[in-house]
Amino acid sequence: MYKVILAMSLVALSGCETVESVQQDVSEFSNNLFASSGNKEDTVSAFEKAQEAYSEASKVRKQTTSLNAQQRSVWAELESDYQKLVANPDSAADKESIFSDGTLAENIMTHSLEFIELTAKAD
């Protein structure tokens, strides 16, 4: 039993990085985590694309008389994200969370496309 633990410890230790490389990795991670969003042009472009996607989904929504449960769920998420974007347009190119690479604008575009596809399938 002790031999197995010792062998596992040696294998684990052999893959360790130097203190400098660990510090560099932590520094890069924190810089990426707390970095501001892209430049102003990227933010404006993302905002405009999200608005256009929401507008298209909204047109489809107005033409649809009734929604099924999945469509209602996607539409609710889309509206929620769009309200966040309208309340703070500068957040269009910001990451949605530290655990995802997606931005608020990308989420709106994704939900819009998903809603349009679900509606097309339902018809």
Per-residue pLDDT of the chain (123 residues; tens, 9 = 90+): 767 666 666 556 555 556 566 566 656 655 555 555 457 888 899 999 999 999 999 999 999 989 999 999 999 999 999 999 999 998 888 877 777 778 899 999 999 999 999 999 987
Check whether residue 88 and residue 112 sit in a common domain: yes
Q: Are 104 and 91 in contact (CB under 8 A)?
A: yes
Q: Residues 6 or more apart from 101 whose CB is under 8 A from it?
A: 95
Give residue 83's domain range: 38-122
Check whether residue 76 and residue 23 sit in a common domain: no
Check whether residue 70 and residue 85 sit in a common domain: yes
Tally of structural domains, the chain: 2
Check whether residue 43 and residue 26 sit in a common domain: no
pTM for this prediction: 0.67
Check whether residue 83 and residue 28 sit in a common domain: no
